[in-house]
Chain A
């Protein structure tokens, strides 16, 4: 048995096609992801909006505005970001800075405030919203001040110390990172590529699929025992490949899999078995050529990974809302969700459910495979 296992292992390691698809392709794809997402990260970083405040004769007219702007331009917390970076200058200098794109816009103070910008955009809208909010608040204050002068000091106090009615509570200890979903889907794809190893093992053991299978079947050795041996070898190679991928993601691309690294490895192991058993089942139940079987496997794996967000991360959420049952029958989604739940949740309820589904599907696929290949003689070869 050990000798057969070792020989099969040697055979599999030298199978260039499978090694490329299960080892190299995910590593190459993850590198592309990394290169693409690095730009996304930098574009998502919020930069303080540079504005100029014109300190002309009207500068002192609005002390309140000056104070409001100063408040928005400073931050107590170390990690929070200032909304504005304010430069005080005269109008000609402000115009010059705007022309050189050094600032987004400049504000002219007076009875009616004016915002001068060069173009429309996200940052310009933020400045405009800030000014409108300020103007509205001031207008309200003035109205109340006229009609109810006694309550005016209290109102000022309230505005200075706004109450928070909604409190932010994180569901976990880690920060959310949408990009991680891509890597989870990539890992799901890589583990499900194990189905190609499963395909090879069934092809090589069935006399109605290959001459090698015929040769094995005339030998005095139990087909199931030999299949088990070969599957163990396939699992070994496939799991090593996935460990290499995890290592590459973690140590080279610095992808953070959270604090449950042991469970991440366990999930990988379970999904490798799931991938293998899926491949054996599809191969055993389809009657056509090896190329056809391979194409069917590729199509199913890629489609299930697409639905779990490999190409478009929103797809995962679209599926979850529009066709929720797909979450439970899509192997790639189950694997992706297991990684997701390990990263985002402090409890293991969802993870346990995903692992249970993986075990269930593996057993189901293995049983179907067993019934499909248990026959030792065939009607035709």
Chain B
């Protein structure tokens, strides 16, 4: 008996930061880079969630392309030459992270996620020592109406991980975005208090995928509020395996 034909996915080779790497054509630059131990900073990206290319921190230079492209959604191509780190990219990444710090009230000293925050560790990794644009200090609210969780708009970076995990993985679609531009913010249901939400299952997935202290568990101390994101890859693997 002849063997079953496998689905046709082409294998390609490309260069990332001068290193020759192999990949399949359905993989993204970020996936291939991570498999090869090449670090590309990311914020809105989370393994297991659909990528949206929104935070613009994983932008890379690609030879021949006139624009910078986000590594999380750009597919690899044969012969591609990718630069993941350069003076220019670092400058842009720093400015973007500074923009996030200036956008809302990220006061690490009084944040329960201090020490376990992806925004904070990103700033440390990029060597940001100060923010050189004016802080905006918007007046934002904290929603503590839920029995077990707290939502703090002051710490939100609008990565929409909560929106995506709730919609795509939990299937509840409790979270969404309201407003436009600088006034955009995440809301539960139709901008009701989280505690009154009829769609929220209380699963807590949103809290654990949140990169900052915008979504936290009630009654936790700073040392305790560690986000556990491993569940997501496990869940997605199990779902795929069942298919």
Partners in one complex: no
